[in-house]
Amino acid sequence: MLQSKEDVGKSDPALERQVEIIRSLVASYLAIISKMTRDLVPKTIMHLMIRDVSYDVEFAFVYEVAFKNMSVIGDSRLYHNVQFTAIVHRE
């Protein structure tokens, strides 16, 4: 005759202990993963936001400096180089 899952666990105390240990380990593992996720997600979002802002600030600074140099030198090739560099840098 086949026994149900509850009957098997009750008939063998060693097996019941192993099941409880495994359940405890799985719960611990999931708690650790949850804590790591809660910790890393905001840090990752901030990293991406700061990186994007720094690219924009860097581009604005380079563009401003190059534009001033272009107006002093009067060379339109410099203006096109800055635009090409900005396109490549954003991709």
Q: In this structure, are residues 78 and 70 in contact, taking their beta carbons and an 8 Å threshold?
A: yes
Side-chain half-sphere exposure of 51, counting CA atoms within 13 A: 8
* Residue 81: partners with Cβ closer than 8 Å, 6 or more residues away: 66
User: How many domains is the chain partitioned into structurally?
Assistant: 1
Q: Residue 81 is part of which domain span?
A: 40-91
Q: Is pLDDT of 2 > 50?
A: no
Residue 80 placed within a domain: yes
Residue 61 placed within a domain: yes
Residue 49 placed within a domain: yes
Max mean pLDDT among 33-42, 52-61, 69-78, 81-90 falls in: 33-42
Write phi, then psi, for 75 (nearest 5 degrees). -105, 115
Kindly report, residue by residue over 67-89, the tens digit of the pLDDT.
766 655 555 555 555 555 555 45
